[in-house]
Amino acid sequence: MNSPANALNYQLLRLGAVLELERRARAAARDELGFLIVNETAGVVPYQQAALWRAEPSDGERLVLSGVASADRGGPYYLWLERVFAALTEERASEIRADSPRVVVPADLPEPLASEWPEWFPAHALLCPLRWRDMAPAGYLLLGRSDAWTDNDCQLLDALTGTFAQSALLHRQARKPSVVQRLAARKRALAIGGAVLLAVALFPVRESVLAPAEVVPVDPAPVRAPFDGVVGALRVEPNQAVRAGQPLVSFDETQLQTRYEVAKKALDMAREEYADTSQQAMSDDRAKARLAMLASKVDQDQAELAYDEDMLRRAQIASPVDGVAIFDDSSEWIGKPVVLGERIMVVASPERTQLQIEVPASSVVSFTPGAEVVFFSNLQPDRPAYGKLTFASYSSTAAADGVISYAFRASLEHASALRLGLKGTAKIYGPRRSLVLWLLRRPLTVMREWLSI
């Protein structure tokens, strides 16, 4: 093995990597330099984490972190690094702000930054000032890893940080033509373009919103469970025409019938006991004293029997009105346990329909009753139906898809031609507004929420 030769090759490779990184730093654009410094330096000197603090950031980002395209300014790691750099770069830390890379330990930081160090950064850290000649540092590069730093690492980083500082300072000193000079060169074209843009911005357009819609009945009669039980059978098919009083749903009567028989038997026994005690009361005072209690028991058993009879009658649900039975597949209901008040189906007239529109809260604009509505069904989108807005909900609720929406209803022309349950897309027209307000409606909404106005 030729260990000296291998070591020489390794040093040559590192030197070549340094030269290549310096070349890339000089050629890097203004917004690419910070990303290159914190990420590509690892090809020369290995480390686990890197953070670059820039004295005068050009793009608003003072801190650039390794491993991410954009740092989370509100994150705890970002805020901790800001306080660390503030502590390391203040005037009283002149010993740490040397011209060459310097090892930093938690003891160099005040509490609680020192105690939080193991949570956010590796044990061995190196602070490298980006200084060129006698100018003020363009920033500071903080590197961290689990192994101790060597003199070779510090020498290579010293050479690199000088190049990084030079590139950063050149970007800072680069001057662009002033805005006034550029505008003066294009005065006439800008005037014409501004006039056209103003005319287009003030052009009135109608506000409109597209939202999912469904044809629903007007004043439907819900059929709900009269008690907690199990659905035994459905006597009608979905969308079947029914008449008032026609049986619709039958509940499982096994448990109800058993309770009825038990209550009936208990009533017979109470009546017999009352009759026997009545005969004994003629000669026995103790039996006479029990008559009132036995009479109360008979009344209680009669009430329980009447309640069980009523439950058996209510186990058969009839249609409250004439119309069409609207519900899902009957096989999904048979044998399904339901609770008191749970809706099983609705009975509605197919001739009286309206449009139910769910408009997301983020898209709602000012709609007045009577606003124009156009409905495009999924079956025949080329044949829209027209109508007028009749109702707008006061508050928003979660729609079937989980989106917070406002409910709107509209009456349609020739509504009888649209079958119940037909879905599609509705377009609601609002008042006329200038084009610029229509285009900026959502950006202004987001800005208002962001500013908490």
Domain spans, the chain: 3-173, 222-344, 349-451
Cα gap 308→261, rounded to integer Å: 9
Which of 111, 57, 102, 48 is CA-nearest to residue 84? 111
Most confident of the ranges 4-18, 144-158, 176-190, 411-425: 144-158
Average pLDDT rounded to a whole number, residues 188-202:
79
Confidence of residue 272 (pLDDT cuts 50, 70, 90): confident
Average pLDDT rounded to a whole number, residues 145-154:
87
Q: Is the pLDDT of residue 148 over 60?
A: yes
Q: Is the pLDDT of residue 182 over 70?
A: no
Confidence of residue 93 (pLDDT cuts 50, 70, 90): very low
Q: Is the pLDDT of residue 1 over 70?
A: no
Q: Is the pLDDT of residue 110 over 70?
A: yes
Cα gap 202→189, rounded to integer Å: 20
Report the share of the chain in percent with pLDDT over 90. Answer: 2
Confidence of residue 92 (pLDDT cuts 50, 70, 90): very low
The string of pLDDT tens digits covering residues 230-242 is 888 888 888 888 8
The 8-class DSSP code of residue 401 comes to: T
Fold of the domain built from segment(s) 349-451 = Elongation Factor Tu (Ef-tu); domain 3 (2.40.30)
Q: Is the pLDDT of residue 298 over 70?
A: yes
pLDDT for 375: 92
Residue partners of 70: CB distance under 8 A and separation at least 6 = 61
The 8-class DSSP code of residue 249 comes to: E
Average pLDDT rounded to a whole number, residues 341-354:
86
Check if 3-173 and 349-451 are the same fold: no
Which of 91, 104, 176, 171 is CA-nearest to residue 138? 171
Contact between 390 and 426 under an 8 Å Cβ cutoff? The reply is no
Contact between 108 and 85 under an 8 Å Cβ cutoff? The reply is no
DSSP string, 76-119: HHHHHHHHHHHHHSSGGGTTTS-SS-EEE-GGGS-TTHHHHHHH
Fold of the domain built from segment(s) 3-173 = Beta-Lactamase (3.30.450)
Higher pLDDT, 250 or 416: 250
- The first and second tokens of residue 57, run together, are 């950031």
Cα gap 278→284, rounded to integer Å: 10
Residue partners of 356: CB distance under 8 A and separation at least 6 = 213, 214, 215, 216, 407, 408, 409
Pairing label, strands 241-242, 229-234: unpaired
Average pLDDT rounded to a whole number, residues 13-23:
81
| Alpha helices, H only, 281-440 | 285-314, 435-439
Cα gap 45→336, rounded to integer Å: 68
Q: Is the pLDDT of residue 74 over 60?
A: yes
Average pLDDT rounded to a whole number, residues 67-71:
79
